Structure 1
Amino acid sequence: MEFKQALKERANQVEILLKRYMPKEEGYQKTIIEAMNYSLNAGGKRLRPILAMEACSIVGGNIEDVIPFAVAIEMIHTYSLIHDDLPALDNDDLRRGKKTNHIVFGEDMAILAGDALLNYAFEVMLSNSIDKENPNKYLKAINEIAKTSGIYGMIGGQVVDIQSENKQISKEKLDYIHNNKTAAIIIGCMRAGAIIGNATEEQLENITKYAKNIGLSFQIVDDILDIIGDESKLGKKVGSDIENQKSTYPSLIGLDESKKVAYRLIEEAKNSIKLIDSNAKFLNGLADYIIDREY
């Protein structure tokens, strides 16, 4: 309960920050900004911005320096969800218990809202890097986020995921999908936070291991919840993976074995982060939360 309260407090902080960085809903841009805000403010765990700030903090950095990047990461994540929900992709009607963006604003505006969030994310990061004393590390952080959310990260994973629907695929290909579609942006946000916090190479390596392991575990748990999850807690329907004939960890290696793999990954993540901070209370708590979550 103590960790969940800490997570809630950090998520609430992110909510406030998101509102601070978004433009006002006015002028000719009013409708598109409304559509952006509709999905951006729809709730969620806010794990990615929280992880960016935690990575900066655990290596001794100033969290204030990473805030614009944390906000931008959530914008990028939200854009990906808007596009994922579109009829051409997952064709979902609900996201976080609310109607999806294209149901409310139409497909045309939903596509543009996703595009706008992606572009605005980079505008926020760049505008908060130009006049910095050491702009090089901020540019490195932006590069991490760009790379892990692009064709060699999240989008690359999404493409292979789409191409693999209605097909039996190997575990190797499934790992590629999960490591890129889900884990890559988690790795990117933590590496970006650590870089801004002036992490050593050794610290950066251990943060990368932690991020990769919790990212893959997070997706495996998602696969599991799509079978045994509670729709009222998840805020979306379950069984879509089976309905779409998608290869998942449970479909390839079974439910029980999938749980074992997820637990092993979480233990490896915790071992990595202990090499930076033997306590690492929040990040250890987050690892445990990922494996035990119900939504």
Structure 2
Amino acid sequence: MDKLASCCLRHGALPSSHNYSKPYNAERPTSLPHRPRRRRSIIPVVRCILTNPNTAKGRHSTKPRHADEFSSGFDFEQYLTAHAKSVHEALDRALALPARLEHEPDHHWLIESMRYSVLSGGKRVRPVLAIAACEFVGGDAAAAAPVACAVEMVHAMSLVHDEMPCMDDDALRRGRPSCHAAFGEHAALLAGDALLALAFEHLALGYADAGIVVPAERALRSVAEIANAAGIGGVAAGQLADKACEGRGSRVGVVSLATLEHVHVHKTARLLEAAAVSGAIVGGGTGAEVERVRRYARRVGLLFQVVDDVLDVTRTSVELGKTAGKDLVADKSTYPKLLGGVDKARAYADELLAMAEAELEGVDARRAAPLRQLARFVAYRQN
């Protein structure tokens, strides 16, 4: 069994100091140019592993849907903007300097570097995904608030560490200096560590602090899910595997498609998956509902990375708000490179989108609409 298959099986079914915030921009994504659909998957091995058995048997169509087909009665832009704003405000409160530490300059520096990294904008895809998944299983959005904040802190930690000189050495993030460029390497390293710790402190105390009633068993399951996604079952392992692939992208056949999928299932997809799964758990989802959400989110997570790889070679640094073309400079394998070009990578993105949408079929359209539109937002984003 290849590496990707064993990887997927291991994860189950697929397994107020200064405010650095800036207005959230939730422009409706621009559709990619129309491309004719291929009759057969361009990546048989990946399609085989990722496809739901029901889909494989033809019970669900994998034909992509047009965005306007599901837009009636649901304003996704408003939904995304409202939840992103509420999450941003909650993160601002969670990262406020405690009054008892106001006269401790070291604590000021640490808190400021953390706030700089978390409150700098961003799409807030992971926290909104957690909220949408919670609502998908019939839960109240408030139940997912601590999860939403926690996954965004973990995500910010991963970016802070990923950008450091010992990793990807990137001095630009969200259109301004990376944390280590603004505060120094030692502060960035510690800010990332502190954000990871704060994420779990917030998960443990956030419900009681906000007066939200969620059974302890659900909260503990969400802790375990996010912890696994941050560590050896996700981001940390994926980042190490990604570093191991550097300098090998130009040698044909050295890095296989299965290896590339292994890297990004861990480095990118796993945290998005954990966000959605944790939202479904605290929302009171059944075992079957949670696994449906897991399969959906795994595909959206890989979709996010495929689109990232395409944007890296088709957009400028100004457009992206981060350094464009850095994968080429680091000689990394990417989806456009391994699949034979940008058009084929986009075709694979279409397949992942269709498979994610297939997981939402048979569910009340109003409950599924946020997840469906969120997948399309990821697919057609321009930065």
Moved >6 Å (runs of 4+): none
Aligned residue for 1:45, secondary structure, equals coil
Q: Match of 2:197, as an amino acid?
A: N
CA distance in 1, matches of 2:77, 2:323: 24
The 8 Å contact of residues 299 and 353 in structure 2, kept in 1 or not, is answered as yes
Q: Match of 1:156, as an amino acid?
A: A
| 1:160 alignment counterpart | 241
- Cα distance change on mapping 1:133 and 1:222 into 2, 3 Å: closer
Matches within 5 A, 1:1-295: 1=28, 2-24=75-97, 26-28=102-104, 29-128=107-206, 134-167=215-248, 168-254=254-340, 255-279=342-366, 280-295=368-383
State the 1:120 CA deviation: 0.7
Deviates more, 1:15-24 or 1:39-48: 15-24
CA distance in 2, matches of 1:98, 1:172: 34
State the 1:276 CA deviation: 3.3
CA distances 1:188-213 after superposition (whole Å, capped 9, x unpaired): 11111101011011111110111001
CA distance in 1, matches of 2:362, 2:147: 25
State the 1:133 CA deviation: 6.2
The 8 Å contact of residues 203 and 276 in structure 1, kept in 2 or not, is answered as no
The 8 Å contact of residues 40 and 75 in structure 1, kept in 2 or not, is answered as yes
- Cα distance change on mapping 1:264 and 1:133 into 2, 3 Å: closer
- Cα distance change on mapping 1:265 and 1:230 into 2, 3 Å: same
The 8 Å contact of residues 179 and 212 in structure 1, kept in 2 or not, is answered as yes
Which structure 2 segments of 5+ residues have no match?
1-27, 29-74, 249-253
Q: Match of 1:247, as an amino acid?
A: S
Question: When the two structures are superposed, what TM-score results if normalisation uses the length of structure 1?
Answer: 0.96
CA distance in 2, matches of 1:276, 1:200: 14
Percent identity over paired residues? 39
- Cα distance change on mapping 1:285 and 1:230 into 2, 3 Å: farther
CA distance in 2, matches of 1:56, 1:275: 17
The 8 Å contact of residues 230 and 294 in structure 1, kept in 2 or not, is answered as no
| 2:35 alignment counterpart | none
Q: Whose helix fraction is larger, Structure 1's or Structure 2's?
A: 1
State the 1:32 CA deviation: 0.3
The 8 Å contact of residues 183 and 212 in structure 1, kept in 2 or not, is answered as yes
- Cα distance change on mapping 1:133 and 1:252 into 2, 3 Å: closer
Aligned residue for 2:81, secondary structure, equals helix
CA distances 1:52-80 after superposition (whole Å, capped 9, x unpaired): 11111111112222211210110110011
- Cα distance change on mapping 1:256 and 1:129 into 2, 3 Å: same
| 2:66 alignment counterpart | none
Considering only CA atoms, is the larger Rg found in Structure 1 or Structure 2?
Answer: 2
CA distance in 1, matches of 2:288, 2:344: 32
Q: Match of 1:119, as an amino acid?
A: A
Which structure 1 segments of 5+ residues have no match?
none
CA distance in 1, matches of 2:372, 2:179: 34
State the 1:4 CA deviation: 3.3
Q: Match of 1:117, as an amino acid?
A: L
Aligned residue for 1:16, secondary structure, equals helix
State the 1:277 CA deviation: 3.1
Aligned residue for 2:365, secondary structure, equals coil
State the 1:42 CA deviation: 0.7
Question: When the two structures are superposed, what TM-score results if normalisation uses the length of structure 2?
Answer: 0.74
Q: Match of 2:86, as an amino acid?
A: Q
